[in-house]
Structure 1
Amino acid sequence: MNGTIQRPSLRERCFRRDRRSVPAARRFALRNLVDWGLAECERASDVLLCVSELATNALVHGVPVGRQFMVVMRLDGDTVLVEVHDSGDGMPHIAQAPGEGGDEDEGGRGLVLVAALSAKWGVRERGVGKIVWCEFTLRSGASTAPSTMPVRG
Structure 2
Amino acid sequence: MNPSNQLAEPSRPATEFTLRLSSTRRGARLARTLAVQQLTEWRGVPHDSAAAQAVALVTAELASNAITHGRLPGRDFRLTLRLLPEAVRIEVTDTRPERFLPATAPKPCDPVDETGRGLLLVEAYASRWGCVVLDACTKCVWAEVLC
Q: Normalising by the residue count of structure 1, what TM-score does the alignment of the two structures yield?
A: 0.77
Mapped to 1, the partners of 2:88 and 2:117 lie a distance apart of: 22
Equivalenced residue count is 134
Alpha-carbon shift at residue 91 of structure 1 (Å)? 1.4
**Is the partner of 2:79 in helix, strand or coil?**
strand
Shift of residue 4 of structure 1? 6.7
Correspondence 1:105-124 to 2 at 5 A: 106-124=114-132
TM-score, structure 2 normalization: 0.80
Report how far residue 74 of structure 1 moved: 0.3
Higher relative contact order (CA 8 A, sep 6+): 1
Q: Partner amino acid for 2:144?
A: E
Per-residue displacement from partner, 1:15-52 (whole Å, max 9, x unpaired)? Answer: 11221111110111022112102433532210111000
Larger Rg: 2
Residues 21, 31 of structure 2: 8 Å contact kept? yes
> 1:39 aligned to 2:41?
no
- In the aligned structure 1, how far is the partner of 2:92 from the partner of 2:109? 27
Residue 100 of structure 2: aligned partner: 91
| Residue identity (%) | 30
Can you list the C-alpha shifts for 1:29-81, whole angstroms capped at 9, x where unaligned?
02211210243353221011100010000000001001000010000222210
| Structure 1 stretches of 4+ moved >2 Å | 3-6, 37-42, 92-99
